[in-house]
Amino acid sequence: MPKKSQVKERLKLLTEHLQKENPLLVDVVNSFQELDRLSRRVGFLGKDESYALRVPWWPLISVLGVYSSGKSTFINEYLGYRLQATGSQAVDNKFTVICYTMEDRVRVLPGLALDADPRFPLYKITTAIEEASPGEGARIDTYLQLKTCPSEVLKGNIFIDSPGFDADSQRTATLRITDHIIDLSDLVLIFFDARHPESGSMHDTLETLVKGTIRRNDSNKFLYILNLIDVTSREDNPEDVFASWQRALSQYGMTAGRCYTVYSREAAPAIADETTRVRFEAKRDANMDEIRDRIEHIKVERSYRIVGMLEQQARILENSVVPKVRQFLETWRRRVLWVDGGLLFAAVGLFLFMTIWRGYWSGLTLSIPHMDAVLANSWLKWGLVLVIVLGAGAVHFWVRKWTAASVSRRLLDSLPERESVRHYDRAFRKNSRWWRSVFRMEPAGWSRRKAASLKKVADDANGYIQKLNDVYTRPSGQEAPHHNALVERSGTEELAVPEPQRDVSPLV
State pLDDT tens for residues 18-41: 787 678 888 999 999 999 999 999
Range of the domain at 81: 55-269
Could you tell me if 196 and 333 lie in one domain?
Answer: no
The Cα 194–Cα 225 span in angstroms is 9
CA dist list (Å): 52 to 45, 48, 133, 381 = 12, 12, 26, 59
Q: Point out the domain boundary residue: 425, 443, 461.
A: 443
Ordered per-residue pLDDT tens for the chain, 508 residues = 555 677 888 888 888 877 876 788 889 999 999 999 999 999 999 888 888 887 777 788 999 887 777 888 888 888 888 888 765 554 567 888 898 888 888 888 888 887 777 667 677 777 767 766 677 777 778 888 889 899 988 887 889 888 866 544 446 667 777 887 888 888 999 888 777 655 455 565 666 666 666 667 777 888 888 887 777 776 666 777 777 777 777 766 665 557 888 888 777 777 777 888 788 888 888 989 999 998 888 878 888 888 988 999 999 999 999 999 999 999 999 999 999 999 999 999 998 888 888 888 887 888 888 788 878 888 888 988 899 899 999 999 999 999 999 999 888 888 876 668 889 999 999 999 988 888 988 999 899 999 999 999 999 998 999 888 887 776 555 555 444 444 444 444 433 333 333 333 333 3
Which CATH number characterizes residue 127's domain? 3.40.50.300
Long-range interactions of 468-476: CB distance < 8 A, separation 24+: 468/24, 468/300, 468/303, 468/304, 468/307, 469/497, 471/24, 472/300, 472/496, 472/497, 473/497
Whole-number average pLDDT of the chain: 79
Query: What is the SS3 assignment for 275?
Result: helix
Could you tell me if 68 and 170 lie in one domain?
Answer: yes
Residue 111 lies in a domain: yes
Q: What is the pLDDT of residue 502?
A: 36
Q: What is the pLDDT of residue 104?
A: 87
Rg (CA), the chain: 31
Could you tell me if 60 and 192 lie in one domain?
Answer: yes
Domain count, the chain: 2
Q: What is the pLDDT of residue 167?
A: 43
Helix then strand count (H, E) for the chain reads: 15, 10
The Cα 466–Cα 1 span in angstroms is 39
Could you tell me if 71 and 210 lie in one domain?
Answer: yes
Query: What is the SS3 assignment for 55?
Result: coil
Q: What is the pLDDT of residue 213?
A: 65
Q: Point out the domain boundary residue: 237, 252, 269.
A: 269
Q: What is the pLDDT of residue 482?
A: 47
Q: What is the pLDDT of residue 479?
A: 56
The Cα 156–Cα 437 span in angstroms is 51
Roughly what angle, to the nearest 10 degrees, separates helices 26-42 and 448-472? Answer: 160
Task: Tell me if the pTM is above 0.75.
Answer: no
Could you tell me if 263 and 339 lie in one domain?
Answer: no
- Nearest one of 302, 324, 314 to 33, comparing CA atoms: 314
Residue 217 lies in a domain: yes
pLDDT 10s digits, 44-63 = 998 888 888 877 777 889 99
Residue 492 lies in a domain: no
Q: What is the pLDDT of residue 166?
A: 54
Residue 77 lies in a domain: yes
Residue 247 lies in a domain: yes
Q: What is the pLDDT of residue 349?
A: 92
Q: Point out the domain boundary residue: 269, 302, 333.
A: 269
Could you tell me if 365 and 427 lie in one domain?
Answer: yes
Residue 190 lies in a domain: yes
Could you tell me if 130 and 264 lie in one domain?
Answer: yes
- DSSP per position, 417-434: -GGGHHHHHHHHHHHT-T
Q: What is the pLDDT of residue 429?
A: 92
Strand 95-100 with 144-149, pairing: parallel
- Nearest one of 39, 28, 12, 24 to 426, comparing CA atoms: 39
Residue 227 lies in a domain: yes
C-beta of residue 142 within 8 angstroms of C-beta of residue 94? yes
Q: Within 166-273, where are the H helices? A: 172-184, 200-205, 238-251
Could you tell me if 249 and 392 lie in one domain?
Answer: no
Residue 450 lies in a domain: no
pLDDT 10s digits, 178-204 = 887 888 888 999 888 777 655 455 565
Q: What is the pLDDT of residue 372?
A: 80
* Amino acid at site 462: N
The Cα 309–Cα 330 span in angstroms is 30
Could you tell me if 239 and 128 lie in one domain?
Answer: yes
User: How many Cα atoms within 13 Å fall on the side-chain side of residue 346?
Assistant: 8
Which phi-psi region, left, alpha or beta, contains residue 206 (left: φ > 0; alpha: ψ -120 to 50)? Answer: alpha
Could you tell me if 250 and 352 lie in one domain?
Answer: no
C-beta of residue 82 within 8 angstroms of C-beta of residue 110? no
Across the beta sheet with 158-161, the strand order is 107-110, 144-149, 95-100, 158-161, 60-65, 187-193, 222-227, 258-261
Q: What is the pLDDT of residue 339?
A: 94
Buried b (16+ CB within 10 A) or exposed e, 42-60: bbbbeeebbbbbebbbbbb
